[in-house]
Chains A and B, each alone.
Chain A
């Protein structure tokens, strides 16, 4: 599903050049549940942004579903994000003036799906998250766990191949975190590739494969067999 060959990325701020990713080689199969770990500054968020076509890499090759991602126009990148990738953020990033249902339906709006149809589909996904009765509520009336579940529903509605989650449990308490992870796990079982960035060991241990990043390089990869025990 995802293949990275020698990805390099550096940020230039004034006279300083910060080399964040120093040659990442990574292969993620379709249907995998992967977590990326690393200390702050290890480049894990940058890697996720490049995977999400929110940022561009400098050198190297990135294949997403066998498509080479390189120097996309912003219009094309938006289309690819909409089609292939669902995002889940640490701070949920719901649109404040739209209710839960409209937030879930938003990706379909950018696919020019009619309002009635996309709201009906959004209700299905909200139902899956057990949030049917919260459909008309605005984001500021919802708890963190509810918001994250809405964000996951929003990520799922465009039927993406990959879900990218940047610290999806970072703003949640332990119980809610485990609930959210449980939901992600179920989604993964349906065959959607999930990649999460986290610095919490218990969260990463719920995934099938842990990639440790250090100073812009992959330090180690651990195939995780303990997830059955934790859940």
Chain B
């Protein structure tokens, strides 16, 4: 409902002391502005950090062997041992909570000298013996060709999937890589795929872009690893905590390798889920803090509005008295003052919202257009629901801010209001 008389009154009340109105509105403006900027920055931080994960399975666990620290079954301490191929079978058989299991071996790397040769070009790259399941735990984008498959494993094919940096070093730009042969640590492999990483923040044994994936079985045979496996990566089935699977796998592997169940060192493991949850908790904490601080700032602004409305009501006591003498009902007065308060709050808040979002968009534009998108800060923004929530909070708090002054305005008897000078 648009009521010209009501707005005329609001405008006249607000215009009477423009500077005061401005400062009052500024309180709410600043509250909303800070809330938007902080929420946006918090989101930017989270987008930046979680963006590093890419599609990495956050429910994954990594497990490797370390020298034992407790003598057990007649075996001495400081004994070295290795995971074996039949551990893969045992894990699959005895721990049904495991969803994907990817055993891995690795060799080469930048320290090993130029281990990969193609014609006159050569480079130092990490060489990974992998199962196809690896691509479900730390997925990569296949730009051409394919990833490893189970037939490669079974037939121990000499095929390789290479990272984009490997391609850049060993091939000319635009050259067809699929079907070409590389000499990897003395053995020829045929390239079946080229990939680029989805996340560059997480690496195992060297930069992913400079890695070559070959079938694990082929790796073991051609490099004389026998049935030794470097380490395991596995994920838990949905609904099962990764730490539960981690415990079961560790105790199974200890049993299979005659390691004391009480040995705290013999199996090294890393639980991604735990780290991820820690980080998620951190961001939830930051978000919560932002809301508390933001709402606090907003509250200070709203209380300022309530205060000023009290002053306005006092200044206009006589005017309100006149209006009541000529027939204004208490509800007319109350709704007038609440409308005024809601208008002031919402208008100031809306300006804060618009300017806040504008600045976030500006920062976003500069970040993306200058290409300086860092790993820690990406796409700072607030979503539409948050903006809507903020507006609803504003309207409600504006009404609450107006309620006390409005009640005060009608609590005074009309005759006293008329006499008020």
Contact = CB atoms under 8 A, between A and B. Distances in A.
Interface in B289-339: 318-319, 322-332
Interface stretch (A49-57, A172-180, A184-192, A222-230): A49-57
Interface stretch (A32-40, A105-113, A202-210, A213-221): A105-113
Nearest to A78: B329
Given A54-B415, A55-B413, A95-B323, A110 B329 contact: yes
A110 B5 contact: no
Q: Tell which of B325, B330, B331, B415 has the most Cβ of chain A within 10 Å.
A: B325
B9 A115 contact: no
Contacts of B322: 93-95
B12 interface: yes
B415 A78 contact: no
A70 interface: no
B388 interface: no
A79 interface: yes
Q: Tell which of A49, A95, A102 has the most Cβ of chain B within 10 Å.
A: A95
Contacts of B327: 78-79, 81-83, 107, 110-111, 158
B151 interface: no
Contact of B325 (A54, A75, A83, A96): A54
A55 B414 CA distance: 8
Contacts of B332: 78, 110
Interface in B325-374: 325-332
B418 interface: yes
A65 to B, nearest CB: 16
B326 A87 contact: yes
Contact of B4 (A52, A77, A94, A115): A115
A141 B327 CA distance: 25
On chain A, which size bracket covers the interface?
20 to 34
Contacts of B330: 74-75, 78
Interface string A105-126: 0110111000100000000000
Given A54-B415, A54-B418, A93-B418, A81 B326 contact: yes
Contacts of B8: 97-98, 102
Nearest to A49: B415
Nearest to B11: A97
Contact of B326 (A55, A77, A102, A107): A107
A154 interface: yes
Contacts of A87: 325-326
17 contacts: A54-B415, A74-B324, A74-B410, A77-B414, A78-B328, A78-B332, A79-B329, A81-B327, A82-B327, A93-B322, A95-B319, A95-B322, A110-B327, A110-B328, A110-B329, A154-B326, A155-B326
Given A52-B325, A97-B8, 20 more contacts: A54-B325, A74-B324, A74-B330, A74-B410, A74-B414, A75-B329, A75-B330, A78-B324, A78-B328, A78-B330, A81-B325, A81-B326, A82-B327, A94-B322, A95-B323, A96-B12, A97-B12, A110-B323, A111-B327, A155-B326
Per CB-CB distance, the 10 closest pairs between chain A and chain B, nearest first, are A82-B327, A97-B12, A110-B327, A54-B415, A78-B329, A93-B322, A55-B415, A75-B329, A107-B326, A54-B414
